[in-house]
Structure 1
């Protein structure tokens, strides 16, 4: 992770988070509203790249027995919503709207824990953290969208729950590349290791071999 000299002088990013004894994966907001171009927020190139890469990661994770939690964002009506500043969220992120369905490329019913969140973080008032604690997970891989919003929020909550936190750059996406890069650089200085799909696949494969030995 590239840092300015001033951050380096102040020791930001000097310590790697590393990997622990057991991984888990969260998949944040890969719902059709973000992955289907027919919807106002859908089809951003970085998000589409992230969906495909996350699907590859999840195939390995499920094969070796890594726990997975996925989420969408949806509300009963505007009264239930926080004060979003995004018109498209208010108009489409409703329980009966087709844009809130999870993208089938990343969701496997019967294996994944599925929750509906109401704020940016997959961990906020959802029970997801407790699920992973019961599974004795200590290393969280955060995937999904958008990097500058719900990924950042989820990564910070993962850190706050004392998980070692990895964010694979090519498994998260945003509307524009600038906020994507800026937020990864920022959380990489403080809270997480910014990695990539290849690193995480190798970690899961090594964990799976060790766990089956």
Structure 2
């Protein structure tokens, strides 16, 4: 066994699956809470949001459907379950809380789908898998927050539902670089291709060119 982590994992895993033939972009939980310094969830930077906006623009130009998720709870948290019980910051996502609003630049367009959820994965308790299948999608690109939480949970479920899964590194964010990098590393090894914003946009630009 190699003592070098990257070499060790490359030997054990080290395989890419590609973007897929028909893509969808899933933007996970990018709401005001993560970009507002008054909130416990504040990440200290809007870099992941800005990256997501660039990817979203390229996806729309390529005719790739865009799906945005958010977390919304009954005003009394009746649908919060153990997740709400465990994670204190989820109080910001009670229905009507301004921290649950879309941040500047990410207001959904009329042709973009919103999937509201109560748990980490965008697939758990929602119709997302059926919707993607009905669209003929076989590959999903993930951006969003947080890398170690809802992005990771959605990534694992996307793969489990049979979708080729790409996680766009710069377009994901967390409150500390350690969990961000560790989870990107692990997702890339086992569940998805972790790709750069530049690679993703180049691929989308190629799809847009084919559309004419």
Decide: shared fold, TM above 0.5: yes
Tell me, which stretches of 5 or more residues in structure 1 are unaligned? none
- The SS at the match of 2:165 is strand
2:44 and 2:94 map into 1 onto residues whose CA distance is 21
Which of 48, 57, 60 pairs up with 2:58? 60
User: 2:88 maps to what in 1?
Assistant: 87
User: 1:148 maps to what in 2?
Assistant: 148
- The SS at the match of 1:16 is coil
Shift of 1:100: 1.1
2:38 and 2:21 map into 1 onto residues whose CA distance is 41
The answer to whether the Cα contact below 8 Å between 2:66 and 2:112 also exists between their aligned partners in 1 is yes
Tell me, which stretches of 5 or more residues in structure 2 are unaligned? none
Q: Report the count of equivalent residues.
A: 206
1:157 and 1:80 map into 2 onto residues whose CA distance is 21
- The SS at the match of 1:170 is strand
Q: Structure 1: which 4+ aligned runs deviate by more than 3 Å?
A: 2-9
Shift of 1:29: 0.6
Q: Does 1:119 align with 2:96?
A: no
The answer to whether the Cα contact below 8 Å between 2:17 and 2:164 also exists between their aligned partners in 1 is yes
1:150 and 1:44 map into 2 onto residues whose CA distance is 18
The answer to whether the Cα contact below 8 Å between 1:159 and 1:191 also exists between their aligned partners in 2 is yes
1:70 and 1:136 map into 2 onto residues whose CA distance is 18
User: 2:28 maps to what in 1?
Assistant: 28
Shift of 1:43: 4.1
Alignment of 1:38-187 (within 5 A): 38-45=38-45, 48-76=46-74, 77-84=76-83, 85-90=86-91, 92-187=92-187
2:19 and 2:96 map into 1 onto residues whose CA distance is 39
Shift of 1:71: 1.0
2:20 and 2:5 map into 1 onto residues whose CA distance is 25
- Tell me the TM-score normalised to structure 1 length: 0.90
- Tell me the TM-score normalised to structure 2 length: 0.90
